[in-house]
Amino acid sequence: MGSSSLLKRIGRLSVISSSCLESSGIIIDGKSGRGSLLRGLSTAATEQELRILQQQNKSSSSLNLFSAINQALHIALDTDPRAYVFGEDVGFGGVFRCTTGLADRFGKRRVFNTPLCEQGIVGFAIGLAAMGNRAIAEIQFADYIFPAFDQIVNEAAKFRYRSGNQFNCGGLTIRAPYGAVGHGGHYHSQSPEAFFCHVPGIKVVIPRSPQQAKGLLLSCIRDPNPVVFFEPKWLYRLAVEEVPEKDYMLPLSEAEVIREGSDITLVGWGAQLSVMEQACVEAEKDGISCELIDLKTLIPWDKETVEASVNKTGRLLVSHEAPITGGFGAEISASIVERCFLRLEAPVTRVCGLDTPFPLVFEPFYLPTKNKILDAIKSTVKY
């Protein structure tokens, strides 16, 4: 990880944000951290990406994740006059500031507040996309995407297939902040990715860092298929990284080995990767060599990269914040058992959220913490 020098390692207790707006609200404050689990982020740029960066001759800047998203949206609107950005409170910059400055620069006809109605936002976006536009819709929180579930599952996902490819809404991208923040309780913490991974016809993408977020979001916006893009809101301010200023895209459906190792493969996505990486670092002290893979695109996912890694290490651990039962970890586990059965030296392990609603005061117990992962790494290797 030669890249870590470029990164500001950031602890989750470090930021107090008063402008981090939200309805029922997310303030990343010192209080909530409870002092235990540190969400530093060092799982960032790869060698290859670094090279790109250097070629750019320093045309990069140190950005946090919401600013990287903001930059991607600026580029998307700038490079395509048929691109639109809209959603609840998007006009003044959005409750997480991701859309700051867009309405001023591109006008209220392309960047606008919608009525407070998620099914309306997605339905409208599908219509707009079906006419050959890039509709970039924001759902204020992933927890509030469910009123739009029908539009996403029955409409967006089947628009092309049901018409024999006469129509499509490929220009649709739905952005939504997801995941824990320390004090979000039931409805500002959920990770609903698995619901959408059960739907052929849409893509699900989750970035782990600012640089990834910008490149992946631009790919999603320009991908000719509807995409649900979940943004790790815990990292909006906490993750800071050198992000190239130019317009660049990172490939979808390509997983990335962000840490090489030989004893066990760990697979994750989004904010969870930084927790997993800390476990890898700790495990190394005990002489266990971990390979860490960022899946990035959950469907259609890059089985080959994971398969190759497990064939090398003989062990697999998957970790996500969403409840373990029916989570996307189950799909990965089943597929890898199918493909690598004879190479596996231990059962596939899942370290995930528990099967309860996301509980406010019990959040530190609920989450798949570094030490839960570390314990699982050790017992899998010892199996």
Binding residues vs ligand TPP (CB under 6 A): 23-24, 88, 116, 118, 140, 144, 147
Could you say which of ligand TPP, other proteins, none residue 357 binds, taking C-beta under 5 to 8 angstroms by partner kind? other proteins
Measured from the CB of residue 122, what is the shortest distance to ligand TPP in angstroms? 12
Judged by CB, which is closer to ligand TPP: 181, or 264? 181
With CB under 8 A as the contact rule, the residue among 202, 369, 377, 381 that binds other proteins is 369
With CB under 8 A as the contact rule, the residue among 14, 56, 113, 335 that binds other proteins is 113
The bridge status of strand 297-299 relative to strand 203-205 is antiparallel
Q: What are phi and psi of 285, to 5 degrees?
A: -60, -30
Binding range to other proteins, per CB under 8 A, among 67-75, 194-202, 213-221, 357-365: 357-365
188 is an active site residue:
yes
Element (H, E) at 193: helix 193-197
Could you say which of other proteins, ligand TPP, none residue 165 binds, taking C-beta under 5 to 8 angstroms by partner kind? none
Alpha-carbon distance values, 67 to 40, 89, 235, 259, 294 (Å): 18, 17, 11, 26, 22
Judged by CB, which is closer to other proteins: 247, or 375? 375
Which parts of 242-301 interact with other proteins (CB under 8 A)? none
Which entry of 118, 193, 277, 321 is annotated as an active-site residue? 118
With CB under 8 A as the contact rule, the residue among 7, 10, 20, 306 that binds other proteins is 20
Could you say which of other proteins, ligand TPP, none residue 131 binds, taking C-beta under 5 to 8 angstroms by partner kind? none
Could you say which of ligand TPP, other proteins, none residue 373 binds, taking C-beta under 5 to 8 angstroms by partner kind? none
Report how far Cα 100 is from the mean position of its chain's Cα atoms.
Answer: 20
- Check binding of 116 to other proteins (CB under 8 A): yes
Alpha-carbon distance values, 343 to 307, 313, 315, 347, 376 (Å): 10, 9, 8, 11, 19
320 is an active site residue:
no
- Provide the total of helices (H) and of strands (E) in the chain, helices listed first: 14, 14
Total Cβ atoms within 10 A of residue 89: 18
H, E, C per residue of 223-279:
CCCCEEEEEECCHHHHCEEEEECCCCCCCCCCCEEEECCCCEEEEECCCHHHHHHHH
Distance CA 348, CA 336 (A): 8
- Check binding of 372 to other proteins (CB under 8 A): yes
- Check binding of 32 to other proteins (CB under 8 A): yes
267: left (phi over 0), alpha (psi -120 to 50) or beta: beta
Tell me which residues touch other proteins (CB under 8 A).
18-27, 29-32, 34, 36-37, 88-89, 91-93, 95, 112-113, 115-120, 143-144, 146-147, 182-188, 324-325, 354-357, 359-362, 364-366, 369-372, 375
Q: Which residues are catalytic?
A: 118, 188
